[in-house]
């Protein structure tokens, strides 16, 4: 991925779809190594009924984002928040580039790209006064 490109990630507990907005090609898909699990909490049982966090999956997604610029994390479930927390804990320099974490159900690739373009147009306008290009010398 290019160094200063906007990137959108859609993630659930089974896969992550990553798209660089500057390139209209196919995105990157990263799948979790955990099998598809439906867990249900039962009365008087131990555990929350939730699947454990797949840290290996989150790390593979993190590595796919290392060279990105601004990042929008989306998804329908808690996986998006788990990714944001993972980045904050293990990759703070990347976490600083996360523009937002948004709830989005199951969009098509085209819908996801359209949503991200709209988001980054507004986000870039809001931050034009505070963001400076590398090497500009402005503080």
pTM listed for this prediction: 0.78
First to last CA, the chain: 27
CA-closest candidate to residue 52, choices 70, 42, 39, 63: 39
pLDDT on residue 126: 81
Q: What mean pLDDT comes out for the span 53-57?
A: 90
Q: Which fold has domain 7-31+52-127?
A: Nucleotidyltransferase; domain 5 (3.30.420)
Per-residue pLDDT reduced to its tens digit, 16-50: 999 998 866 568 889 887 655 544 445 555 555 55
Structural contact between residues 99 and 65, judged by C-beta atoms closer than 8 angstroms: no
Per-residue pLDDT reduced to its tens digit, 3-22: 358 999 999 999 999 999 88
Read off the tokens for 20. Answer: 């660089």
Domain boundaries, the chain: 7-31+52-127
């Amino acid at each position: 991925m290019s160094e200063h490109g906007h990137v959108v990630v859609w993630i659930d507990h089974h896969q992550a779809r990553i798209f660089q907005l500057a390139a209209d090609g196919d995105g990157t898909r990263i799948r979790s190594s955990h099998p598809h699990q439906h867990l249900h909490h039962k009365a008087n049982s131990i555990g929350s009924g939730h699947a454990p966090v797949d840290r290996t999956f989150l790390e593979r997604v993190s590595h796919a984002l290392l060279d990105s610029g601004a990042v929008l994390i989306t998804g329908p479930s808690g996986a998006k928040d788990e990714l944001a927390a993972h980045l904050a804990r293990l990759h703070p320099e990347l976490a600083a580039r996360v523009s937002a974490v948004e709830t989005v159900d199951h969009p098509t690739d085209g819908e996801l790209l359209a949503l991200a373009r709209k988001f980054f147009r507004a986000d870039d306008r809001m931050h034009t006064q505070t963001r400076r290009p590398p090497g500009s010398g402005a503080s």
